[in-house]
Amino acid sequence: MGRGQRALVAVAAIWLAWAGYAIFIVAPMERTMRELQRIFYIHAASGLVGLIAFFGSFLASVGYLASRQDRWDWLALALVEAGEVFCTVVLVTGPIWARPVWGIWWTWDARLTLTFVLWLLYAGYLMLRRLSEDAARRAMLAAVFNVFAFVDVPLVYFSIRWWRTQHPGPVIAGGPGSGLDPRMWHVFLTVWTGLLLLLLVFVLQRYRVAALEAALEEEELAPMTDRAVREQAS
Amino acid sequence: MNVLRRAWVICAKELRVEFRTHELTLTTGFFVLLVAGMFSFAFEPSSTEARTLVPGLLWLAFLFAASLMLQFSFLREQTDDTLSALRLAASDPFAILLGKAAANGALLFGIELVFLPVFIVFYNLPLSLLSAPLLGILLAATAGLSLVGSAFSALVARSRMRELLLPLLLLPLLSPVLIAGAEATAEMFDTGSSGGRWWGIVLAFDVTYLAAAWLLADFVVQE
């Protein structure tokens, strides 16, 4: 890890510690949900960060298909893995909040279902990579699958929106009557920035590991090719 | 030769291979029959319950059957090592994909036509449910899913555990088709409507993936 990355990790850690303080101490108490509402800061911010990661991985996969450069593939992989982590956080914190507020853990509402389907699609992406052996082919398969999966998102969204919706409507940019107390806004933005920094840390680390893995794979293949060359020569 | 002609040649070749052996249609049809029976063992629905359950069951059975059947589309070329020849002969990957998808779609739709009456008999539903809108939306959905499924069949042909991998990748992607298909069928059962706006989802799915397949065919069909 270079000095720049170490500094980034330090900044992210301090920022997140501050965000935790903001969630529990700075943020005002919500009138009806009381303490429970505080999970919203993590839940909604993670959701936004996850979506950004998945969208970024789609762009990286398009970049790979256009340029065939490995670094786009590493970036797409790093973003999917990190996005999957944030998506998992959303899926875990959601039911914890819903049980006392809605009285149920889970409902097949539009946004819950969409998040779940997204999680499944990108878990599929990671499995596809794991089960494909040849590195060049794997990068291509993963990129193609990523594009196929991403264009599915609007279709999934509209099909389940017509199907049913229970999730609270958009709080932040919804219609009249929606909106956050300015103090809550500040806390939300603090948490969101902290999680974006965390995403950056994850992605940089995973990208570095992906590059190392690729180098290792080449290293392992190299002696075999040497042997093949010698055999052919003799 | 233009793309459609080439695709038609591939499609005819696929159908010829299938009609000589009947391997895919027999096994897939048997699977659908099994689902129809096993579901009844598990839930034992009365005929009023069946009316609300069968739309979902029908689509689930066909989607699972498709995800099992489609993987052999490119696997066959892989094991027989004939993909390079196919690429040389057709010289257009999109035509190969389209031809394979058309053949798979035709086979799947045939299986659906045969087994729709079986569901009606097993669950004591009125024969009038076999309506033009239902067959139409089945055909539209089958076209889209066989296109995506055939593309994925090519993608996973060289992966380990590909038999398991294809359903895992394909089924989440097909969730809009499942929702739209099952909801449209339920509406048709309840009110005799033609499925209304759910057609939009199914047709949008078809158009989206036709465009995606056209753009990405070169990457999908690789030796």
The pLDDT of residue A75: 96
B161 vs A contacts (CB less than 8 Å): 131
> Contact B172/A120, CB-based, under 8 Å?
yes
Q: Which residues contact A53 (CB under 8 A, 6 or more apart)?
A: A79, A80, A82, A83, A86, A199, A203
Highest mean pLDDT among A24-33, A46-55, B34-43: A46-55
Please tell me the total count of domains within chain B: 1
What number of residues does chain A have? 234
Helix axes A110-130, A70-102, angle to 10 degrees: 140
Which tokens go with A22? 């903001």
Higher pLDDT pick, A172 / A160: A160
Q: Which residues of A107-125 are buried (b: 16+ CB within 10 A; e: fewer)?
A: bebbbbbbbbbbbbbbbbb
Which tokens go with A86? 């944030």
B158 vs A contacts (CB less than 8 Å): 132-134, 137
B172 vs A contacts (CB less than 8 Å): 117, 120-121, 124
Tokens 């499942």 locate to B178
> Contact A159/B179, CB-based, under 8 Å?
yes
Provide the residue-wise pLDDT of chain B in tens; the chain has 223 residues: 688 888 898 899 889 988 998 888 999 999 999 999 998 888 888 878 888 888 899 999 999 999 989 988 888 787 777 888 888 877 788 999 999 999 999 999 999 999 999 988 888 888 877 888 899 999 999 999 999 999 999 888 888 888 888 999 999 999 999 989 988 888 888 877 777 788 888 999 999 999 999 999 888 887 6
Q: Which residues of A61-78 are buried (b: 16+ CB within 10 A; e: fewer)?
A: bbbbbeeeeeebbbbbbb
> Contact B220/A144, CB-based, under 8 Å?
yes
In this structure, are residues A103 and A158 in contact, taking their beta carbons and an 8 Å threshold?
A: no
Q: Does residue A10 surpass a pLDDT of 80?
A: yes
The pLDDT of residue B113: 93
In this structure, are residues B103 and B11 in contact, taking their beta carbons and an 8 Å threshold?
A: yes
Give the model confidence (pLDDT) of A169-209 as tens digits: 555 555 555 567 778 888 889 999 999 999 999 999 999 99
> Contact B209/A162, CB-based, under 8 Å?
no
| Cβ under 8 Å to B: A residues 178-217 | none
Strand, coil or helix: A34: strand
In this structure, are residues B199 and B137 in contact, taking their beta carbons and an 8 Å threshold?
A: yes
The pLDDT of residue A179: 65
The Cα A186–Cα A163 span in angstroms is 34
Confidence of residue A224 (pLDDT cuts 50, 70, 90): low
**Residue to substitute from B158, B173, B178, B220, interface A, most A β-carbons within 10 A:** B173
Taking the CA of residue B209 and the nearest CA in chain A, the distance in Å comes to 8
- Say which of B165, B208, B219 has its CB closest to residue A155: B208
Question: A21 CB near a chain B CB, below 8 Å?
Answer: no
The pLDDT of residue B49: 83
* Domain residue limits at B191: 3-220
Average pLDDT for residues A156-162, to the nearest whole number?
A: 78
Question: A67 CB near a chain B CB, below 8 Å?
Answer: no
Q: Does residue A167 surpass a pLDDT of 60?
A: no
Strand, coil or helix: A35: helix
The pLDDT of residue B205: 93
For chain A, the straight-line distance linking the first and the last C-alpha, in angstroms and rounded, comes to 45
Q: Does residue A233 surpass a pLDDT of 80?
A: no
The Cα A49–Cα A47 span in angstroms is 5
Q: Does residue A228 surpass a pLDDT of 80?
A: no
